Amino acid sequence: MYFRMLHDEASGAMSYLLADLDAGEAVLVDPRGADVAVLRAMLAEHRLRLRWVLRTHEHDAALPEAERRALEALQAPRVAARPAPDGVVSFGDEMLRTLATPGHTASCLSFLWRDRLFCGGLLAVDACPYQPRPAMPEALWDSVTREVFTLPAETLLFSGHARAARAVSQVLEQRRTHPWFAGASRDEFLARVAALAPAPP
């Protein structure tokens, strides 16, 4: 297996490359258009065929046409906005389970691979550089408490942005210490979100 993280220092954006080296197949999670040349070089170096481009979420206003074209140039089918038909994305002998985890945006997905969950901005709440508050707070509470926090305690959580925050944590850690979810009731969480400044017009 081959696993790489790419971190953009300016924006904090995180991208991930997963590959089955024996089968020569790979997937990308949340790639950036600016990284396409580097990603292609990494794929070529290991003689990998890109099977899927996986998107945990998209901020339409922050995804200009040039970015969209750059991602399309990767020439791989995209999984975004809704889970794969059977809930599974395969590459080589590996597979990821796709989870519908709306809340940060209306159509967020998370991808579970082995002991790792790629969950984009799901845990950011008020820390996403593109969005100051969740699009759907009620759905976010359900996604985090019912989908993410019910995973095994040792599951690793890989975020979509890492600026001041760490890129990787564990389910147990987030259950105990997350500043928005740990020790809070649903009503308390929703009240705190309601007090956040609204998104600029």
Where in the sequence is the domain holding 23, given as residue range(s)? 2-124+155-169
- pLDDT per residue as tens digits for the range 117-175: 999 999 989 887 777 789 899 999 999 999 999 999 999 999 988 756 678 999 999 99
- Which CATH number belongs to the domain containing residue 46 in this structure? 3.60.15.10
- Asked if residue 61 belongs to a domain, the reply is yes
- pLDDT per residue as tens digits for the range 40-61: 999 999 999 999 999 998 765 5
Residue 44: the pLDDT is: 96
Tokens standing for residue 37: 């040349």
Give yes or no for a contact between 96 and 28, defined as CB atoms under 8 angstroms apart: no
- Asked if residue 141 belongs to a domain, the reply is no
- Asked if residue 174 belongs to a domain, the reply is no
54: left (phi over 0), alpha (psi -120 to 50) or beta: beta
- Asked if residue 181 belongs to a domain, the reply is no
- Asked if residue 133 belongs to a domain, the reply is no
pTM for this predicted structure: 0.92
Residue 60: the pLDDT is: 59
Contacts of residues 3-9 at CB distance under 8 Å and 24 or more positions apart, as own/partner, are 4/42, 5/158, 5/167, 6/32, 6/35, 6/38, 6/39, 7/162, 7/167, 8/32, 8/34, 8/35
What confidence tier does 80 reach under pLDDT thresholds 50, 70, 90?
A: confident
| Number of folded domains that form the chain | 1
- Asked if residue 189 belongs to a domain, the reply is no
